[in-house]
Amino acid sequence: MKQVVFISGKGGTGKSTVVASLSRMVLDKMLVDCDVDAPNLHLLVEGERLLETDYFGVRQAMIDPLLCSQCGLCRQTCRFGAIGEDFAVEPMVCEGCGACLLVCPQEAISLRQVKTGQTYVDSTELGTFSHALLDIGAEGSGKLVTEVKKNLEEYKKDEAWVLVDGSPGIGCVVIASITGADAVVAVCEPTLSGKSDLARLLQVAAHFGIPAFVCVNKYDLNSGITKEIEDYCLKTDVPVIGRLQYEPGIVKALQSFQTPVEAGLTHITDEIGRIWSALALALDTEKKDEGGIA
Amino acid sequence: MRIAVLSGKGGTGKTTVSAGLAAAIGKCQYIDCDVEEPNGALFLHPQIASVSPVEVTVPVVDASKCNSCGRCAGVCQFHAISVVKRKVLMFHELCHHCGACSIACPQNAISETNREIGVVESDEAALFIQGRLHIGEPITIPIIQELKLRMRDDVPAILDCSPGASCTVVQTITGCDYCILVTEPTPFGLHDLKIAVALVRRMDIPFGVVINKAMDGNERMQQYCYDQEITVLMEIPFSRKIAKNYSRGILPVQDCREWQDRFVSLYKAIEGGAAS
């Protein structure tokens, strides 16, 4: 089983569109949405719920007012300023580190688990699909991502692939998403910001030693920058495995909850098919059938 | 006036709006809080005059004092320490800099040292500041805190957020007077807009929406804003010309007088309280 994570650095470059299209094209796979604070793949991949659980991702200090002698040691120790004048803990500020509990002479402080999100596993016609939703403004999104990937384990049926829709950025969520992956595919766009963000993202993949591939979306929007991106990839030894053209029809299709596959945008889906074949070939799968495409 | 620009979904046009607003109104402070992937500089072309490291404190163990008791690893809530074969291993990227391990150590073997996780860059007048997370680092909050310490009171501040609606965005918009939520009229955009709306409502910050890449088929978005009594501040059309200019680092306000005027009006509406 090979795990491929589609990421982008910059947001809105077309990750979910590519993953949703592949979900209709690649056989024998599982699906994951790791963009837990703004998930979108579930809008295009529906099924029957197998699992729905609350996720307790962080801890928070709680002071028992009956035991507290208001000595103030906890407040002096807390580096996050989470303990207020009235010896109540500010929930959005507390990191749950427990330093306060170590210094409290009254043993008045305990850590309690706090729910930070919800995880879901769905059975769909396209394969088992694991996703989640972080509670609004919650911490611990990286840990939730790890949980979403872990949830899939139980439902494995010897599928050949796990396709993972990633999140923008290069920080904790992305690091959690690409941990354990066999490859990342960076979906980028030929803009100055897209180029800058891609460079940082590829450095992160290299930092963690994960093979990276690049796909340029809307390549014809600025062929000069597409060329610069491809030159950069050549120089850094990252294969460019595809180019998708600027197609307003994709947005139109999305507005009716369709991927390019249902919308019949064959010039797009043919290229996505080629991208997949190139990737499968590069990852040298045991099944020599170009990745088992439908 | 402190205005934060956020979106939920990535790539909807936060930087187009925030950098556009900064360029249109002139004397203001633009703060790029998307420290994972900062892009404002590509459009605003600041002369960076200072680069300061953002450091956090992390523990170090004095091996001559350590007796491998494992208390430090036991109290660390972030799995940043483990004791293997009588040796203490520290995973500094995971450290939340709380100091619990040094409190717990019965041998007083743990001290702290500084570790750089990113930088803050600023122009001469601190009218442009941006944070930049170093490659491979997961934690962004200390950089955003450092950026916010440098916020000026004498000019309007425009804060460009990272995508999503997690703690990073909470940290950025805390203390802001107004939020602009940038969205696009797709099911993805609408889904993530609802998350962003829930966030700003919970934090009780006045807000309005900018619909970017607007085209026929906007009705669902319009209807949502109408039903929720949300002010639609502006619509920026779906246009290949705008997209092409954006690709070269040119904002609508930098290309066209009309957009300049529209962004100035947008700011005035927010400042005058007409937009909440």
Of the given ranges (A59-63, A215-219, A286-290), which has the lowest mean pLDDT? A286-290
Is residue A125 classed as helix, strand or coil in its secondary structure? coil
Tallying the residues shown for chain A, one arrives at: 294
| From B163, B217, B244, residue closest to A221, measured CB to CB | B244
Whether residue A294 is contained in a domain is answered as no
Does residue A217 have a pLDDT over 90? yes
Is the domain of A205 the same as that of A276?
A: yes
Give the pLDDT score at B219.
Answer: 87
Is the domain of B7 the same as that of B41?
A: yes
The residues in B 252-271 lying below 8 A from A, measured between CB atoms, are none
Is the domain of A261 the same as that of A193?
A: yes
Please report, as a single letter, which amino acid is at residue A136: I
The number of distinct structural domains making up chain B is 2
**Angstrom distance (rounded) from CA B91 to CA A174:** 18
CB under 8 Å to B273, separation ≥6 — which residues? none
Q: What letter does residue B161 receive in the DSSP assignment?
A: P
Cβ–Cβ contact B237 with A under 8 A: no
CATH number at residue B258: 3.40.50.300
Give the pLDDT score at B276.
Answer: 64
Does residue A288 have a pLDDT over 60? no
Is the domain of A7 the same as that of A130?
A: yes
Residue A248's pLDDT band (cuts 50, 70, 90): very high
CB under 8 Å to B209, separation ≥6 — which residues? B180, B181, B182, B183, B193, B225, B230, B231, B232, B233
B213 to chain A: which residues are within 8 Å by CB? 251
Contact A254, A220 (CB under 8 A): no
The residues in B 121-150 lying below 8 A from A, measured between CB atoms, are 133, 135-140
Alpha helices in B127-231 (DSSP H): 141-149, 167-173, 187-202, 219-227
Residue in the block written with tokens 């056989």: A27
Contact A21, A254 (CB under 8 A): no
Give the pLDDT score at B274.
Answer: 67
Give the pLDDT score at A294.
Answer: 60
* Interval A177-213: pLDDT, tens: 999 999 999 999 999 999 999 999 999 999 999 999 9
| Percent residues over pLDDT 90 in chain A | 92
CB under 8 Å to B227, separation ≥6 — which residues? none
Domain interval for residue B80: 57-115
The residues in B 13-42 lying below 8 A from A, measured between CB atoms, are 15, 36-37, 39, 42
CB under 8 Å to B268, separation ≥6 — which residues? none
For residue B214, the chain A residue with the least C-alpha distance is A251
B243 to chain A: which residues are within 8 Å by CB? 218, 221, 246
CB under 8 Å to B147, separation ≥6 — which residues? B31, B33, B35, B120, B129, B130, B131
Cβ–Cβ contact A283 with B under 8 A: no
Residue A67's pLDDT band (cuts 50, 70, 90): very high
A174 to chain B: which residues are within 8 Å by CB? 36
Whether residue A92 is contained in a domain is answered as yes
Domain interval for residue A73: 65-107
Cβ–Cβ contact B94 with A under 8 A: no
Contact A134, A97 (CB under 8 A): no
The number of distinct structural domains making up chain A is 2
Is the domain of A145 the same as that of A235?
A: yes
Contact A3, A180 (CB under 8 A): yes
**Angstrom distance (rounded) from CA A266 to CA A109:** 61
- What is the complex's ipTM, to 2 decimals? 0.93
Is the domain of A99 the same as that of A234?
A: no
CATH number at residue A221: 3.40.50.300
Is residue A32 classed as helix, strand or coil in its secondary structure? strand
Cβ–Cβ contact A139 with B under 8 A: yes
The residues in A 154-213 lying below 8 A from B, measured between CB atoms, are 167-176, 189-194, 196-197, 200, 203-204, 207-208
Whether residue A225 is contained in a domain is answered as yes
Instruction: Write out the H or E segment, with its range, that includes residue B273.
Output: none
Give the pLDDT score at A96.
Answer: 94
| Closest of B168, B170, B202, B200 to residue B183, by C-alpha | B200
Calculate the alpha carbon distances from B77 to A61, A176, A232, B71, B100 in Å.
12, 17, 40, 12, 9
Give the pLDDT score at A140.
Answer: 85
Give the pLDDT score at B72.
Answer: 97
Calculate the alpha carbon distances from A79 to A112, A184, B57, B73 in Å.
19, 37, 11, 19
Query: Residue ranges of chain B with pLDDT lower than 50?
Result: none
Residue in the block written with tokens 């580096």: A79
Query: What average pLDDT does range A104-113 have in this prediction?
Result: 96
Q: Would the CB atoms of A168 and B15 count as touching at under 8 Å? A: no
* pLDDT averaged over every residue in chain A: 94
Beta strands in A75-211 (DSSP E): 109-124, 127-134, 161-165, 183-188
Query: What average pLDDT does range A239-251 have in this prediction?
Result: 95
Is the domain of B108 the same as that of B35?
A: no
For the entire predicted model, the pTM comes to 0.94
Give the pLDDT score at B216.
Answer: 80
* Interval B140-158: pLDDT, tens: 999 999 999 999 999 999 9
Whether residue B120 is contained in a domain is answered as no
| Closest of A141, A209, A155 to residue A31, by C-alpha | A155
**Angstrom distance (rounded) from CA A7 to CA B113:** 34
Is residue A90 classed as helix, strand or coil in its secondary structure? coil
